[in-house]
Structure 1
């Protein structure tokens, strides 16, 4: 490890570190544009000049391109260096339009900061400036090409890091253009990262444009709630309106970037139809009246039917604090009818995931550094987009990436693919768990065995599974296979993709508690008279919506605590509005068992633009903030339990009550988080059928997640509606030819939940004998829920 001296300070750094990074370890920030921690160095901007006084080379050098060496002596602030940087800034500003007052980057513009810091306050150039025509890059990114300084960060992020192909650099010398060949929306699901990496105002967030300056925002460290990966984000609000999300650095999870669903899916917080008032029936009341009504009715039901007549349901959207207090409230009511997921199969799969030993679980950082990754039954771009980006970084380093799935899984890079139907997954996993066996009876088993041997022989292998396709049994088989493919010197880590941001937390608290299926049976048999739902939408999440609706109609009391206008909220006898994630503080546990804290960004309230009918400033004033009735679910529960609403005390209590949560009280919003300390016992998993088609004209129907339109909260974001796909059903061309169906035509899909007329898509990269549909909320496909065993279906001409 080389030791060098920078500005009279000595530092020892790992081999391969450049001088710019070494200076940063000393707290010395060398001005730069093109260098980025995730992208590396290219020496394009020429701003990071330093003077090497002693070393292998001497004189003015670019610090981002200069490897740190032993006994090197560097000066970052001498007069010669400052003069050089001033000249660089001046030539970069030659063609700049100087439109800071109207630029959305103002206040957080790196070019602005460097120009002021470099002392370039007088413009000497008076000639004509180079100008360009801006492009329409779609609903998310605004393009102002005249501000460009040719740092190449955008191209390196979009093409090299994220794998996009429709955005690049055109031209030569001083006539470079960063854009597309033609106008049109950017195709990469990671395009929003261009906003974060651009050091000027060339590429800005169109959804945030002209809303606020950075110094006007209330910002805090938060966690993305749209999948189970727990990506770190920074959320900003103004005038009681959440106005943007940006990527926050967490090397263990998302690294430096986030996906577009996470960046632009925050509209549920500001949704104009968001329920903000307590309701009894459909009558607006005060919170005190609603709570009094709840307590009275619960007391009466317990008196008449016993404590077992009360059922409680939480969800993967609820924070760990909420889930813990739901558990405590159930105990205070004397009820053991408590579960944390309305989807029984997803619930059991999450409990399987919680049975992994912490050291065996893979983080996204582990995946980025792996040399072999086998992905079985998972569609990363749809179910956990930043996983796809982590796999791409592994592939760029030379890792072997293998996708095994019945679907035509899209990835942002070239990888090895094997099409295996969902019914064959169990045989494949069984063979995968026998990597030392040499002979197999079939090609499918031979594939599993060869993949097992590849994992066994790798230095840092990872086995990844999607619980929706694999189910609880397949997920358990995958964990056993990962253990079988481990050597003492090379542990095969595993990752299971779960339903929501706190599915893992709910599974940790579930123990051997009942599933929601059991609760429904109790309701149907008249044993359960009241159901209390905490940020759970049973009508949308339980696979059999008809059965669930009939059961809920039998209840004497349905009380719902939520921040979104869900289907279950519409049926509630009592409704309590809760805060959105950015309106409170709390903890989430992601799919690798990492406990992460998030901070409160702003106080709940109707956005000013909505409360004053678009006028500004308001023409009336009140001591009460409009729409401020939503309260954190955990705080409401604390009040019902007669406790103080103190989240820090809750974490301490949970940590003391359960050793698995060691370190929970030490979490701080913005840090990397901590893994759970121990695993839960593996739950008993019943055997599942293979779901084979019943007749020659029938197919297996597989319902899947899609990037936009499947997840509840992001689907409430208006800006994502333009990229939401239209309903469709997908077949293999062989099946379509057998059924005499043509691509693009309307067909009728006959399923156990009804008949649907859909447009037909064909794809030769999927398994035969199957029909694939996405779960799209707000469309005729909404009743079809992912995560169930494949159903039998029939397709005919419409």
Structure 2
């Protein structure tokens, strides 16, 4: 650690960072606009001016921009210096000359970085009395509002959108001192991470359009930590709510996972919580029509159903571990299904087994960003795991960082690093059946059927390790590509292999594991990431259960009296003929779900479950990371968590043997006792009594 002196007081600082970040970590109040911890420094706003002295004897010093000045051991600087304060005040003043007086109606009001920095700088009186510069705002689609008149030209938006996320339809258009950030014409932003502009922008130029329709000031919102449920990456979020409705989802920093950014699916995909299709009361089929019934009546109906034969439970990869386990307890381990049909059922278990047994590392999302050679084998990552795709886009920059390191340019000096390494890219190889969004930054792409891509993967493994099985009759171009990829991966310091289950073949994850194993045998620090489709696919793989095919066989043999389905629309898992045959062979169908589906329309009994915002629970990401989401909405009964419904059904069917779980702690303890592989989930979050306010 280095030591820097701020206004006469010593503070520890990390070597390699800039003075602005060091000052902020030391708790000093130093305003800034253009700098962002993930985007680095460009020195565009000139707001973080400090006076730096060359040594103890220097009484004059010089004004420097803290974001562009490296930390050195013994550095001496002053934030409170009169000239530095005057410089910062003048910067805020000219930034505010054209800024509108719309704080009372601006959606950023109360959480606006510009407000905070203006107050910090002491700017309170506007001397400018002339006509303000005005801009025409654009329609940027359904997610992002545009109010260009609030812009202070910090360039954060285009630096994130173009440089970091790879978007091409947002740019800076400038003439003289008039700068416009927008598209060449009105139209929806095309990049899948456009919603991050809302949090990246330090003013109110880009705001959350769905949130604006149900707007509340930040101090009127209730928030709770949560986990995104739209893919298996497990990005951390904050859900904000007011008056029993979800208002918005924000990014929640997690150093090993999503860090500062979310995909648009995770940010804006919460509309189903208040959709007209929500189920809010128990429904029983009476005279062929779903009819609302009291809870006790619903439970008595289930008690009678359970007397007609064995209860079989079908879980879901979109339900929490607790809900799946409660259903497993209700039906019994031998009559519990993961809710996946083949081949997905077997592939999900295969992925868990490969990650458990392959000697290569299972990387965090942040570790994927530092890979210096990447092979994507048969998976369109930007579709199945968007945030992982954004991480791989950063991995391509490792060659640029190596060049900057050799030139002794700090990595946070963004403009200089990008200019120096503008033509340098770390190798990214993509082998997929169709085009992907990452193709433009790939060294080579290979288009083939999934099985042929797997053959390419096994050929790479053989090229790395001659003892691995040889691939016969490989086309000449594929053989050359396999040799090139193998040589590149072996020469890399931190190679990464990415595959998944998207195309329904076991050969692709097996080939990826074979490559990672061959690299590890050579002492290479290889990483293997296998992508699963849903937020709790890995949790179901670790819990285990029957496939839907096995459930269909049970039904054909008359082995099911009542089928209970937890948050799983089987019409999306089975073809219509298979689903019809299953339901025809089952005397009773009970659906526990939060949303009306084609399956629930055919149920004899429907029980309304809570969404991720209305209860707590645990999800296991594709990395195998158990994470807890907490409750932010408190709906009235009968709406309750799926695991509570399963508990109530078990108590109705057999009061003497049913569990008596009262809160998450109880059921988590039961999961840990019954499933050793899931025992660590108790450490995923604080206990059930946890509240953000400490109450």
- TM-score for the superposition, normalised by structure 2: 0.87
Corresponding residue number in structure 2 for 1:414: 441
CA distance in 2, matches of 1:428, 1:528: 44
Aligned with residue 105 of structure 2, among 102, 105, 124: 102
Given that residues 231 and 254 in structure 1 are in contact (C-alpha distance below 8 angstroms), is that contact kept between their aligned partners in structure 2?
yes
1:667 equivalent to 2:668? Answer no
Task: State which of 553, 557, 563 in structure 2 corresponds to 1:521.
Answer: 553
Equivalent-residue separation in structure 2 for 1:158 and 1:339 (angstroms): 43
Q: Does structure 2 conserve the Cα–Cα contact (< 8 Å) formed by 1:373 and 1:461?
A: yes
2:216 corresponds, among 212, 215, 225, to: 212
Tell me the equivalent position of 2:229.
225
Q: Which residue of 2 aligns with 1:155?
A: 158
Deviation at 1:449, TM superposition (A): 4.3
Q: Which stretch of the first structure deviates more once superposed, 378-387 or 368-377?
A: 378-387
Alignment of 1:298-313 (within 5 A): 298=306, 300-302=307-309, 309-313=310-314
Q: Which residue of 1 aligns with 2:185?
A: 182
State the 1:153 CA deviation: 0.5
Q: Secondary structure at the match of 1:463?
A: strand
Residue pair 2:377, 2:508 contacting (<8 A) in 1 also: no
* Range with greater deviation from structure 2 (96-105 or 50-59): 50-59
State how far apart, in whole Å, the 2-side matches of 1:412 and 1:128 are: 47
Instruction: Measure, in 2, the Cα distance between the counterparts of 1:79 and 1:65.
Output: 21
Contact between 2:377 and 2:454, CA under 8 Å: does it hold in 1?
no
With 394-403 and 6-15 compared, the bigger mean Cα shift is at: 6-15
Q: Alpha-carbon deviation of 1:7? A: 4.5
More displaced, 53-62 or 362-371?
53-62
Is 433-442 or 639-648 further displaced after alignment?
433-442
Aligned counterpart, 1:296: 304
Partner of 2:664: 647
Aligned partner of 1:612 in structure 2 is: none
Q: 1:272 aligns with which of 258, 262, 276?
A: 276
DSSP-derived class of the 1:269 partner = helix
Equivalent residues in 2 for 1:518-597 (5 A)?
A: 518-542=550-574, 544-597=575-628
Counterpart pick for 1:129 among 127, 132, 142: 132
Tell me, in whole angstroms, the C-alpha distance in 1 between the residues paired with 2:521 and 2:51: 49
Q: In 2, Cα distance between the equivalents of 1:424 and 1:447?
A: 13
* Aligned twin of 2:452: 424
What is the aligned counterpart of 1:197 among 195, 200, 224? 200
487, 494, 499: which one aligns with 1:460: 494
Is the 1:225–1:501 Cα contact (8 Å) retained in structure 2? yes
User: Alpha-carbon deviation of 1:352?
Assistant: 1.3
Post-superposition offset of 1:293: 1.6
Q: Deviations over 1:696-741 (max 9, x none)?
A: xxxxxxxxxxxxxxxxxxxxxxxxxxxxxxxxxxxxxxxxxxxxxx
- Whole-Å separation in 2 of the counterparts to 1:557 and 1:472: 35
Determine the structure 1 residue equivalent to 2:386: 385
What secondary structure does 1:583 align onto? coil
**1:221-245 Cα deviation digits (max 9, x unpaired):** 2111111111112211122221211
Question: How far apart, CA to CA, are the structure 2 residues paired with 1:435 and 1:454?
Answer: 11
| Deviation by residue 1:553-577 (Cα, 9 ceiling, x = unmatched) | 2211111111111121111111111
1:4 is matched with 4
1:777 is aligned to none
1:447 CA drift (Å): 3.1
- CA distance in 1 between counterparts of 2:686 and 2:136 reads 42
Please report how far the alpha carbon of residue 131 of structure 1 lies from its aligned counterpart in structure 2 after TM superposition.
0.9
Supply the distance in 2 between the matched residues of 1:435 and 1:78 (Cα, whole angstroms).
63
Assess if the C-alpha contact under 8 Å between 2:3 and 2:13 holds in 1. yes
Q: Which runs of 5+ in 2 are unaligned?
A: 400-425, 651-657, 688-695
Instruction: Tell me the residue number matched to 1:485.
Output: 519
Paired position in structure 1 for 2:95: 92
Deviations 1:345-401 (A, max 9, x none): 112111112121397212211211001111111112221111221111111223211
Report the equivalent of 1:328.
329
Partner of 2:541: 507
User: Cα distance 1:119–1:472, how it changes in 2: closer, same or farther (>3 A)?
Assistant: same
Report Cα offsets for 1:428-485 as digits up to 9, x if no partner. 2321222335797533344334423332331111111121215234323322331122
Q: Deviations over 1:498-534 (max 9, x none)?
A: 1200100010000xx4211011111122122221111
Question: Conserved in 2, the CA contact under 8 Å of 1:3 and 1:11?
Answer: yes
- Which residue is 2:147 aligned to? 144
Mark the CA change 1:128 to 1:649 in structure 2 (over 3 Å): closer, same or farther: same
Query: Structure 1 residues 20 and 653 mapped into 2: Cα distance closer, same or farther (>3 Å)?
Result: farther
- Answering whether residue 436 of structure 2 is matched by residue 435 of structure 1, we say no
Query: What's the counterpart of residue 693 of structure 2?
Result: none
Structure-2 residue corresponding to 1:245:
249
Cα RMSD over matched residues? 2.2
Q: Alignment partner of 1:74: what SS? A: strand
How far off is 1:8 after superposition?
4.6
Q: Could you say if the C-alpha distance between residues 173 and 594 of structure 1 is closer, same or farther in structure 2, counting changes exceeding 3 Å? A: farther
Match of 1:111 among 111, 114, 119: 114
Q: Distance in 1 between matches of 2:89 and 2:38?
A: 27
For residue 560 of structure 1, give the secondary structure of its aligned residue in structure 2: strand
Question: How far apart are residue 635 of structure 1 and its match?
Answer: 2.3
Paired residues of 2:363 and 2:528 also in contact (CA < 8 A): yes
- The two structures have a TM-score, normalised by structure 1, of 0.76
Q: 1:574 to 1:179 in 2, by over 3 A?
A: same
Q: Show the counterpart of 1:18.
A: 18
The more displaced of 119-128 and 35-44 is 119-128
Q: Which residue of 1 aligns with 2:646?
A: 637
Cα distance between partner residues in 2 of 1:341 and 1:15? 51
For 1:99 and 1:273, locate their aligned partners in 2 and report how far apart those are by CA, in whole Å. 37
1:295 Cα deviation after fit = 2.5
CA deviations 1:244-303 (Å, max 9, x no partner) are 1122222222221111111111111010121111011111112222122212321x124x
Query: Which of the numbers 256, 263, 280 marks the counterpart of 1:259?
Result: 263
Contact 2:315 2:339 in 1 (8 A): yes
Query: Contact 2:464 / 2:515 at 8 angstroms: preserved in 1?
Result: no
Cα drift, residue 74 of structure 1: 2.4
144 and 418 in structure 1: CA distance in 2 versus 1, 3 angstrom threshold: same
2:158–2:171 contact (8 Å) kept in structure 1: yes
Q: Are the equivalent residues in 2 in contact too, given 1:435–1:484 (CA < 8 A)?
A: no
Taking structure 1 as reference, are residues 514 and 445 closer, same or farther at Cα in structure 2, changes over 3 Å only?
farther
**What secondary structure, in the 3-state scheme, does the structure 2 residue paired with 1:354 have?**
helix
Counterpart in 1 of 2:506?
Answer: 472
How far the C-alpha of 1:487 sits from its partner, in A, is: 4.4
Which residue matches 2:41?
Answer: 41
CA contact (8 A) 2:54 2:75 kept: yes
Residue pair 2:239, 2:632 contacting (<8 A) in 1 also: yes
CA distance in 2, matches of 1:100, 1:185: 26
- Cα distance in 1, alignment partners of residues 339 and 294 from structure 2: 29
How far, CA to CA, are the matches of 1:267 and 1:521 in structure 2? 37
User: SS at the partner of 1:434?
Assistant: helix
Relative distance call for 1:292 and 1:81 in structure 2 (3 A) is farther
User: 635-644 vs 87-96, which deviates more?
Assistant: 635-644
Structure 1 contact 221–669 (Cα < 8 Å) conserved: no
On the 8 A contact 1:346/1:468 being kept in 2, the answer is no
TM-fit CA distance, 1:657? 4.6
